[in-house]
Amino acid sequence: MSRRLPVAMVLALISGALYQGVLATGAVASQQAQVAMLRPARGQPHPSNLWDSTPIPAVGAAAKAAWRRAPMPSPILPSESELKQENRFISYNSPRGCGPRFGPHVTSRICRLGDPTSKHVVALLGDSHAGMWLAAIEADARAQGFAVVPLDKPGCILTVIHRNTAQWPCGSWYQWAVRQDHKLHPVATIVSFQLSTELQADPDATIGMLQAVLSQVRHGVLLTDPPGQTQQPSDCIFRPKATMGECSSRVPDTYVPLMHAIAQMSAQTHHPAIPTLQWFCAKGVCPMVIDHTLTTRDTSHFTLQYSEALAPVLGPELKVILSRLEHG
């Protein structure tokens, strides 16, 4: 007797395959779990505070489970074998050829994803921490009727975007990406880079670099980087008797001060900044698993499943900002 996948899972598989090329690797989503539809916190459909927005209900529940040291939920999406596939094959630039790849590549085709027929274009620029949002942004683009063009390049972190090194022409890529961004005349350019512990520890320098990028692209919008995890998910969640508490991290002491600095910059330069902490952490705890979905595939990059699950909570943020930029 054949087993049918839930409709939501089928859609998740199709979407993930289209923008990541995962099906070519043989990765298949779990038949026992499906991507949860996350929803905003009650009374807060549009968060504005970068460090103190109300956590969404699923994150709050996961944080409570972590405090109780509750057992890991079962099943977890992706499964252990699927997680290995993601870590082996996913590079966050897809369809293939629609973004400069990891390593020496500088340019790529310009691809219109989401609603490719729309006159309204949103560009996505940054390192792999921009690319990991693509599943959510592309789903929102289809729902809201705009095209999204990825210009991100994995490995070109914020500190090296103005220089070229052997096999890493990040300076050349960045110049190309900014030129393409201006040619596209986007309604907004979403900017997102990894905010590593080193960058968090030096807010003044980090703010200067972020402000420079936002001022060089058209209608820059900062999508803030959430805290990551302190251990590899594969080393914790699949251990016998693993608990939610053992497989969770704390918000770094350096994270909130950086968010304060970003908020001050945003107010001064009038660049919108989207908070993300409320989608990952609650009361200082960042659970590794939220509503049966693993949040990160390593210590900092989202799983495809959680990126897609974030579309319903990211969508309202984008809608408000894009409307303001388009009509303001």
Residue 65 counted as domain residue: yes
Contact yes or no for 139/307 (Cβ under 8 A): no
**Count of domains observed in the chain:** 1
Residue 2 counted as domain residue: no
Instruction: Give the whole-angstrom CA distance, residue 88 versus residue 98.
Output: 20
CATH number for the domain including 28?
A: 3.40.50.1110
Residue 51 counted as domain residue: yes
Residue 212 counted as domain residue: yes
Residue 28 counted as domain residue: yes
Rounded (5°) CA angle 246-38-26: 75
Residue 89: other Cβ atoms inside 10 A: 14
Residue 163: other Cβ atoms inside 10 A: 12
> pLDDT 10s digit of each residue in the chain, 328 long?
333 433 333 333 333 333 333 323 333 333 344 566 799 888 888 898 999 999 999 999 999 999 999 999 999 999 999 998 888 866 554 677 888 888 898 999 999 999 999 999 999 999 999 999 999 999 999 999 999 999 999 999 999 999 999 889 999 999 999 999 999 999 999 999 999 999 999 999 999 999 999 999 999 999 999 999 999 999 999 999 999 999 999 999 999 999 999 999 999 999 999 999 999 999 999 999 999 999 999 999 999 999 999 999 999 999 999 999 988 6
Q: Which domain holds residue 54?
A: 7-37+46-327
Residue 181 counted as domain residue: yes
Residue 1 counted as domain residue: no
Instruction: Give the whole-angstrom CA distance, residue 55 versus residue 281.
Output: 7
Tokens of 146: 């705009």
Residue 103 counted as domain residue: yes
- Report which DSSP code applies to 1: -
Nearest to 276 by CA among 193, 214, 211: 193
